[in-house]
Copies of this chain bind each other. A is one copy, B any other.
Amino acid sequence: MSERVHSSSVTCPVARAIDVIGDRWSLLILRDALDGVRRFGDFQRSLGVAKNILSDRLRRLVEAEVLVLAPASDGSPYQEYTLSSTGAQLFPVVTAIRQWGEKNLFDRGEPYTRLLDTRTGKPVPVMKPLASDGSVLSADNTAIRRPG
């Protein structure tokens, strides 16, 4: 298990994250992976992406240790792409994107796919960044501090 060396001198976590997951197909792959998709063919059918592009993005995500390539769990002789623990931690990212889309990109009455809590059947409440005292944070009351 080799230690990854991360993108040189970039000290912004957003920029590093975007190097790994910040393109259209990678994000859609992760959306599907978080919904339980594991097989090459299933990703391809779901996304409608060219096989060479899918192959490339899956390889990059495996190299970044966001996905892990493992023997299929169902006895078929193929392999499947599963989320690593790092990859599973992207659930809040995809959920935040989803919730922004839900609130801002659909007209009233227009249907969209919903994310439900399977234990209760209810929609997942909107995520908000909270301060340590529990109050809701907006961009206005935060700031970036550079290291050093």
> Hey, which bits of chain A sit against chain B, CB under 8 A?
3, 6, 11-18, 20-24, 27-28, 31, 34-35, 83, 86, 88-107, 110-120, 122, 124-125, 127-133, 137-139, 141-148
Contact = CB atoms under 8 A, between A and B. Distances in A.
Given A86-B104, A105-B20, A91 B14 contact: no
Given A22-B23, A22-B27, 18 more contacts: A3-B107, A11-B112, A12-B101, A14-B97, A16-B105, A16-B106, A17-B98, A35-B144, A90-B100, A95-B96, A115-B143, A115-B144, A117-B142, A119-B131, A120-B131, A120-B133, A125-B132, A127-B130
Q: Which of A92, A138, A145 has most chain B Cβ within 10 Å? A: A92
A97 B22 CA distance: 9
Contact of A105 (B6, B93, B133, B139): B6
Contacts of A106: 6, 13, 16
